[in-house]
Amino acid sequence: NAGVTQTPKFQVLKTGQSMTLQCAQDMNHEYMSWYRQDPGMGLRLIHYSVGAGITDQGEVPNGYNVSRSTTEDFPLRLLSAAPSQTSVYFCASSYVGQTSYNYGYTFGSGTRLTVV
Amino acid sequence: GESVGLHLPTLSVQEGDNSIINCAYSNSASDYFIWYKQESGKGPQFIIDIRSNMDKRQGQRVTVLLNKTVKHLSLQIAATQPGDSAVYFCAEGPHMIKAAGNKLTFGGGTRVLVKP
């Protein structure tokens, strides 16, 4: 299993540009989420999905869109990049299963985004 | 909102000594706790978890202790090695994942530096 794969690893955008951060997992995890990590702020939840076709907002959703057309993929779209979106972005997935026990997240390796 | 915090932002430890990383959580409804390790340039990696029906859980060289009375979590690393140098996060969440999803709340992190 590759786990959670994020692409690209690094990206520089100009203010106003749009782009999509890709996230794919091959573990058949139902739950997927996007976090941003900023110095002194910890990990903050942007959007999450409990399954294909279902998404919802997290703590800091403004300026981002998501969709979940398949179990495997959960792309994050930046609509019009702003310098405040400079951050490291992590995608995570979580197994649910029939018991609904929480087993925590598996994280991807992250995308380092700089908006100039 | 509810948050998970840490007492020490940086911990320096001599190679071979034991490390103890502390975490205070504020949401008394949380009943599932996780420790993650994040090495430079990488995504958080699951270390060990504990559910609220336990006070202690051991893994390979790591032990997590949970004190529900004072809402305190700790991670003990035995015989700390250079490869243990990283940032360690605690996280809290629900033991059972409901339809609303699996939202974990993360602490700010403690950096562990292992001195040779």
Residues B37-59: tens digit of each pLDDT: 999 889 999 999 999 999 999 99
Touching check for B42 and chain A: CB below 8 Å? yes
Q: Quote the distance between the C-alpha of residue A97 and its chain's center.
A: 21
CB contact under 8 A, B44 and A101: no
For chain A, the average pLDDT equals: 93
Distance (Å, rounded) from C-alpha A90 to C-alpha A36? Answer: 6
What single DSSP character describes residue A101? B
Q: Which of these, A91, A94, A104, lies nearest to A31 by C-alpha position? A: A94
Q: At A17, is the pLDDT very low, low, confident or very high (cuts 50, 70, 90)? A: very high
Q: Is the per-residue pLDDT at A54 higher than 60?
A: yes
Touching check for B101 and chain A: CB below 8 Å? yes
Contacts of B108 in chain A (CB under 8 A): 40-42
Residue-level pLDDT at B99: 59
CB contact under 8 A, B101 and A105: no
Q: Which of these, B25, B19, B21, lies nearest to B9 by C-alpha position? A: B21
For chain B, the average pLDDT equals: 89
Q: At B7, is the pLDDT very low, low, confident or very high (cuts 50, 70, 90)? A: very low
Q: Is the per-residue pLDDT at A98 higher than 60?
A: yes
Residue-level pLDDT at B6: 39
Give the residue-averaged pLDDT of B13-19: 97
B18-32 burial, b if ≥16 CB within 10 A, otherwise e? ebebbbbbeeeebbb
Encoding tokens for residue A12?
A: 């520089």
